[in-house]
Structure 1
Amino acid sequence: MFLLNRGKAIVLSCASISQASYYTTAKRLDENYTHFGYKTVKTEEKAGRVLDVFSSVASKYDMMNDVMSGGLHRLWKDRMIQKLNPDNKAVLLDCAGGTGDIAFRFVNYVERQHSQFTDHPNVTVCDINNDILEVGKSRALERGVSLNWVCSNAEELPFPDQSFTCYTIAFGIRNCTNISKVLQEAYRVLRPGGRFVCLEFSHVSNPILSKIYDTYSFQVIPVMGEVIAGDWNSYQYLVESIRKFPAADEFKQMISNVGFKVVAYEPLTFGTCAIHSGFRLK
């Protein structure tokens, strides 16, 4: 997911700011305020703003992912499921998974690896945005795949404790108002031995590649959003939100802080994104 803010001067100046500054300025706001891209908004306003963003891009969301990443997001998501390596008894909660990309991969992987079993995997897709969920439901109907669909905030999940063996969230946690609450809820709904896996944008450490990546993000992606989806502002926000997300080592510590063990991450494509994982052991 990506997004941006109209205005040539803003776009050009953003591309010139060092990536390190994006991350250091992302922290330490009063609890009554939070970041919405580079804007500071009241905490209670962010969820509504995010809802508006993804309602706006819902119909073009999958197409834009292909265009913006050159199809790489498909490989990243495949790697995420390979790393999870679910078995036929896995019970998945996929948060922020409205269009079904991760859920469909999960089902395909389990059925391919365990073709001797006839039961379909138990998968629940959860997203705060009903427009995105409707896109996912349509895709599931076309594919003949049966999934559970729940419209809910990842910070307050409507599931009992220890309901799932796997929890995934791909390119969604950075859009949540309180990341720590999301992680706490993930821990709560996982059974002992359950696994948390998160695919999210990270930061490119190589300074030359970082400059190229920033230029592409701030000067190309919003234009694509305008031309293809008719929505510059949403893609301005999404690009900014990537820069506000914690660096990989900091996010790893946040995952550990809520109780997950054996926490690790795997950078992908020069650090453009990373797969973080951890286990609930008790």
Structure 2
Amino acid sequence: MTTETSANGSREHASFGFRDVEVGAKQGMVDAVFHKVASRYDLMNDLMSAGLHRVWKDAMVSWLAPPSNRDFEVLDVAGGTGDVSFRIIDRSRGRAHAIVCDINASMLEVGRERAAKRGLAEKVEFVEGNAEELPFESGRFDAYTIAFGIRNVPRIELALKEAYRVLKPGGRFLCLEFASVDVPGLDRIYDLYSFHMIPEMGRLVAGDAESYRYLVESIRRFPHQERFAEMIRRAGFASVSYRNFTGGIAAIHSGWKI
């Protein structure tokens, strides 16, 4: 995802898949995608990644290492279905409290239902909100997590600044996102699979090929790992690092508010 201003400075653009659209239009377009796929989102994640998204999310929570001997408050942005938050609660042995903040009401509703079924309704709160303008006070959270969501934000720089703002000093930022494959040969196989198989899976399972075509294209427009790490540093974070997984298909980025 890229954001740019035209030569006369009057119009800001963002990528929507391989298309450039006005920034003001992108959020509504992304919202429409996730309203369509919400009910089958977790199932499609399993199918598209052959279950690897679970391994990557587990690795993210392991790197976060939420403490089990004290209270710990985490903000999970774009985490509508609760997948990451549930893992954090389990890892902390119930000491953590999570707020899931997502701009999409359909995704949040799926998350609320899942939390109730797991008996976690008191541990996980679901709030509708925009990553670019979070409805929370500054310096509140011990950690900020976002998994497979930041590439859908129209202005990534604003989202990163907001992440920095709402964290306590000493707070941790962790972002799991699809990345740039760094294994020769795997990139070609991955492209063939992504552009041909994933939209077809979306058509068969979710009745929607176009939404999954957008999701595949959005991955290709997301900044390379090094460039994204530099964006995190520019937002104010220190000790920024990242770890590649599965040949760079996904990466976890980490930063600290000092």
Gapped regions of structure 2 (runs ≥ 5): none
Q: Which residue of 1 aligns with 2:116?
A: 141
Q: Which residue of 1 aligns with 2:71?
A: 89
Q: Which residue of 1 aligns with 2:253?
A: 276
CA distance in 2, matches of 1:271, 1:248: 9
Q: Which residue of 2 aligns with 1:72?
A: 52
CA distance in 2, matches of 1:39, 1:278: 30
Aligned identity (percent) is: 51
Report the AA paired with residue 14 of structure 2. T
Gapped regions of structure 1 (runs ≥ 5): 1-22, 112-118
Q: Are the counterparts in 1 of residues 3 and 155 from structure 2 also a CA contact under 8 Å? A: no
Task: With the length of structure 1 as denominator, give the TM-score of the two structures.
Answer: 0.87
Task: With the length of structure 2 as denominator, give the TM-score of the two structures.
Answer: 0.94
Over the aligned positions, Cα root-mean-square deviation in angstroms equals 1.2
Paired residues, what number? 250
Specify the SS of the correspondent of 1:220.
Answer: helix
Give, in angstroms, the shift of residue 28 of structure 1: 4.5
Report the AA paired with residue 129 of structure 1. N
Task: Give yes or no for the alignment of 1:104 onto 2:116.
Answer: no
CA distance in 1, matches of 2:162, 2:12: 21
| From 129, 141, 155, the counterpart of 1:152 | 129
Kindly indicate whether structure 1 or structure 2 has the higher relative contact order, using CA contacts under 8 Å at least 6 residues apart: 1
CA distance in 1, matches of 2:202, 2:234: 37
Q: Are the counterparts in 1 of residues 66 and 96 from structure 2 also a CA contact under 8 Å? A: no
Q: Which residue of 2 aligns with 1:8?
A: none
Going by fraction, where is strand more abundant, 1 or 2?
Answer: 2
| From 128, 144, 148, the counterpart of 1:167 | 144
Report the AA paired with residue 125 of structure 1. V
Give, in angstroms, the shift of residue 89 of structure 1: 2.3
CA distance in 2, matches of 1:41, 1:195: 32
Q: Which residue of 2 aligns with 1:60?
A: 40
The residue correspondences of 1:1-282 to structure 2 (distance < 5 A) are 26=2, 28=4, 30=6, 31-87=11-67, 88-111=70-93, 120-145=95-120, 146=122, 147-281=124-258
Report the AA paired with residue 136 of structure 1. G
Specify the SS of the correspondent of 1:213.
Answer: helix
Q: Which residue of 2 aligns with 1:115?
A: none
CA distance in 2, matches of 1:215, 1:131: 31
Report the AA paired with residue 41 of structure 2. Y
Specify the SS of the correspondent of 2:88.
Answer: helix
Report the AA paired with residue 245 of structure 1. F
Q: Which moved more, 1:72-81 or 1:26-35?
A: 26-35
Give, in angstroms, the shift of residue 36 of structure 1: 0.4
